[in-house]
Amino acid sequence: MALLRFFTILRVLTFYRLDADLQFLQLPVALRLALRLSPLQWLPRCDVQFSRGMRMRLALEQLGPVFVKFGQLLSTRPDLVPQDIVCELDRLQDRVPPFASDEFVAIVEAALGKKISEAFFSFERDPLASASVAQVHCAVLPSGEEVVVKVIRPGIAATIEKDLSLMELLAQLAERFVPDGRRLRPVEVVQDYRHTIFDELNLQREAANAAQLRRNFDQSPMLYVPKVYWDYCRQQVMVMERIRGIPVTDIAALNAQGTDMKLLAHRGVEIFFTQVFDHNFFHADMHPGNIFVSTQHPSRPQYIAIDCAIVGSLSRDDQYYLARNLLAIFQRDYHQVAQLHIECGWVPPHTRAADFESAIRTVCEPIFEKPISEISFGQILVNLFQTARRFDMTVQPSLVLLQKTLLNIEGLGRQLYPQLDLWQTALPFLERWMQNRYHPKNLLAEIRRHGPGWLEKMPEVPELLFDAAQQIRRFEQVAPAIQSTAEQMVLLEKRQQLGRKRGRIAVLVLVVLGLLWPQWELLRSAVPWQSLLVLLAALWWWTG
């Protein structure tokens, strides 16, 4: 079955001309010839006019839900994937035919340990939505609350495991043979995908994320997160409040109810920065399918967020350096941007700040020539990371998730209100956050938070200092021996290199003598043997 699936994948990739760049791969000549003569080349091909991004999207959709999810993950990696492909993969739809309602009911009953009629007052057998990993049905609890029941697709874990094994094989081949394969890190991308998609198979994790996000925005006029009913949640089953709202992309319906589109767009930006900097816990899958707008008080519109399977957070240092970087970009202080990247370790410490500053200026200055309302803040962040990658920057997954979320939010905001000035919304927020970070009240809160731990460890400090001093003394005693051993190892390595070099010379001489032996008499009369000895001595001396 695995072999059949492998050939199916090859056939689909060939049909959509994704093998078109094989001639540029560093494959062995025999393998390139075998691929050129393969029967796959005789199969029909799609229209050559399709862009490479469109061909990749269509291929992933044909290969099935696991590959669709993988394409969605790739669309979150603009630091690795070209922008034209990212834009096309953003269009991947996660809608698949539903599985049987009887099977859905059986999974729910097995998980809850009771009949569906006992667990719910009423249950709708027709699904509300069906995606690659899960399916959703509506129900009513015995207490009268309207809810949605989400269930993981049966057998999906085994399907994912088979396809992931094939993906890992293809990634290993790509890393070995594709130019820049190591830089693109395809094996690492597939491993990240493995963690992401198997996390999505645990609905209790998603429920916990939703509960945290709901608590963070409790009583907030900006964002509403449905309530989770924990008594009905299991690893394969999740029950949460049913929401009724307008899809955020339904501009006609939003206008029909008199929604304040400007305020809606600005609140989307404010929600993003609040999640990232105030809560340090952000919904990282905020594509339009997961966002609705409440039908209540349209003059003060409120977002509704669902599907919290993917969330992100930043370390305290990354959070601080990101805020300072964004403020420096606002002020066009490219030198500070370069210095901050080096200070926080996003680029290697040996990076020359002047070179990095020049590269950033080259990318950003043309963008700032546009009117402020037309500048894409998210795209600047993408360009910044792409520039930093040339200086061996390794982007952390949390930063990539944040970058992708910002792109989604900004794109959505501009769709709702084309005149959206994200800078006007973001700059006061960042300045206020930086001021509050060092406000005496926040510093006192940090002392209260960490103070008990510091006091608990205080009695150990003298002993730790004494141990450190003892270790320094011991190191000073053994340092000469370590240095002597290191010098001996260097000397031994040099001797081994000399032996290997002389061995190669000896082999070469023997080979040459073997080739010349039939003409030895003629050679001896033409070249004095003393000259050969001098040549051999010179080679021996040169290898030393």
- The residues carrying an active-site annotation are 285
What is the Cα–Cα distance from 383 to 367, expressed in whole angstroms? 10
Tokens representing residue 316 in the block: 């305290």
Q: Which residues contact 388 (CB under 8 A, 6 or more apart)?
A: 341, 346, 347, 356, 395
The amino acid that residue 139 corresponds to is: A
Tokens representing residue 25 in the block: 């791969």
Max CA pair span of the chain: 112
Start-to-end CA span in the chain (Å): 59
b/e string for 418-452 if b means 16 or more Cβ within 10 A? Answer: eebbbbebbeebbeebeeeeeeeeeeeeeeeeeee
Dihedral over Cα of 250, 255, 260, 263: its sign? positive
Tokens representing residue 216 in the block: 């963070």
What is the Cα–Cα distance from 415 to 378, expressed in whole angstroms? 15
Nearest to 359 by CA among 340, 377, 386: 386
- E-strand stretches of 261-373: 282-283, 291-294, 303-305, 311-312
- What own/partner pairs with CB < 8 Å and gap ≥ 24 does 18-25 have? 18/52, 18/55, 18/56, 18/59, 24/179, 25/177, 25/178, 25/179
**Residue 263 exposed, middle or buried by CB count within 10 Å (0-12, 13-18, 19+):** middle
Nearest to 274 by CA among 399, 76, 433: 433
In the numeric block, the tokens 């290191």 are attached to 486
Helix, strand, coil fractions of the chain, as percent rounded to 5:
65, 5, 25
In the numeric block, the tokens 């955020």 are attached to 248
Tokens representing residue 112 in the block: 């809850």
Q: Which residues contact 315 (CB under 8 A, 6 or more apart)?
A: 398
156, 164 Cβ separation under 8 angstroms:
no
228, 238 Cβ separation under 8 angstroms:
yes
According to DSSP, the residues that pair with 148 across neighbouring strands are 138, 240
What is the Cα–Cα distance from 441 to 414, expressed in whole angstroms? 37
